[in-house]
């Protein structure tokens, strides 16, 4: 190698490095900013049903957020098998926002008090709907007090209807866990209704919408009692920026978007507050005596 070539070698290397750096910076500067969000929930029913239920609304939310934030938005869905996993993910910020049952909201609020309600689902303009304690259609039972020494199916151990509210109702009727011959937590609401219908349990707790679907499919169950529950909240993690939170609230609370929201919330959304869930806190405290 000539002396001149040896002198030019570091200059060429520096030039290559400089060009590479310019290309890298150019890609960063010209790249389009993008907001990426993760939506979390748990499979209270079949996972495929959960995807079918949420996908249209999340796609709509992507489009509307992109307009309001003036940048592309993508929303990925994370479905947990266990309520507790989904709760931990929101509390830690592993997911950005979630749709939970009321008891899960109360629990995540204990784990991270800075989580915030985006909006709560409306049921005909109201914040309450019904849970059901169902029995076989041919069951002779007429009241909860008749369940003494019988078998009861609960949902998930962290379920609002499937555990806390149902146990509160049973305690009100004088029935505790010791008064039942057997009780189990079956997880999903549809599994509870099916188990009661096939005679594996004498009674079970499930949400009214799942109860109606099962009856329509021919599962032989009837409602023994119904009780109040608060509609589901949509919750932002403590790490969500105020800009995105405010944009979500504006979209979800706008009446003109009702048609787009029907797949997930038939009557749209309402502004919610932490105090709306005091009913649930009381039921959860009472169920500790079950």
Q: Please report whether residue 27 resides in a domain.
A: no
Q: Please report whether residue 166 resides in a domain.
A: yes
Query: Using CA atoms, how far apart are residues 102 and 122, in angstroms rounded to an integer?
Result: 14
Residues 209 and 65 both lie in one domain: no
Under a CB-based contact definition with an 8 Å cutoff, are residues 42 and 81 in contact? Answer: yes
- Of all residues in the chain, what percent carry a pLDDT higher than 70? 88
Q: Which domain holds residue 206?
A: 128-230
- Of all residues in the chain, what percent carry a pLDDT higher than 90? 75
Residues 105 and 163 both lie in one domain: no
Tally of domains in the chain: 2
Q: pLDDT-based confidence at 45, cuts 50/70/90?
A: low
Q: Please report whether residue 122 resides in a domain.
A: yes
Q: What is the CATH number of the domain that holds 84?
A: 3.40.190.10
**225-264 tens-digit pLDDT:** 999 999 999 999 999 999 999 999 999 999 999 998 888 8
């Amino acid at each position: 190698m000539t002396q001149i070539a040896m002198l030019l070698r570091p200059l060429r290397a520096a030039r290559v490095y400089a060009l590479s750096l310019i290309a890298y910076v150019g890609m960063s500067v010209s790249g389009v900013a993008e907001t990426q969000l993760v939506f979390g929930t748990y499979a209270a029913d079949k996972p495929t049903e959960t995807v079918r239920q949420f996908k249209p609304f999340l796609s709509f939310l992507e489009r509307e957020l992109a307009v309001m934030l003036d940048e592309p938005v993508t929303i990925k869905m994370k479905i947990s098998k266990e309520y507790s996993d989904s709760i931990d993910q929101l509390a830690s910020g592993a997911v950005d926002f979630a749709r939970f049952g009321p008891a899960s909201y109360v629990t995540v609020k204990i784990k991270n008090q800075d989580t915030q309600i985006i909006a709560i689902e409306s049921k005909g303009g109201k914040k309450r709907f019904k849970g059901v304690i169902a029995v076989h259609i041919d069951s002779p039972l007429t009241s909860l007090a008749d369940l003494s020494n019988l078998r009861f199916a609960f949902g998930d151990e962290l379920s609002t209807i499937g555990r806390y509210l149902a146990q509160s109702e049973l305690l009100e009727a004088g029935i505790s866990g010791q008064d039942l011959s057997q009780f189990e937590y079956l997880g999903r609401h549809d599994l509870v209704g099916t188990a009661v219908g096939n005679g594996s349990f004498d009674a079970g707790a499930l949400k009214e919408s799942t109860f109606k679907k099962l009856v329509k499919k021919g599962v032989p169950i009837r409602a023994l009692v119904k009780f109040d529950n608060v509609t589901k909240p949509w919750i932002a993690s403590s790490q969500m920026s105020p800009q995105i939170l405010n944009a979500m609230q504006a979209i979800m609370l706008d009446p003109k978007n009702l048609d787009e929201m029907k797949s997930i919330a038939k009557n749209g959304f309402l502004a919610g507050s932490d105090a709306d869930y005091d009913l649930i806190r009381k039921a959860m405290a009472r169920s500790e005596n079950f």
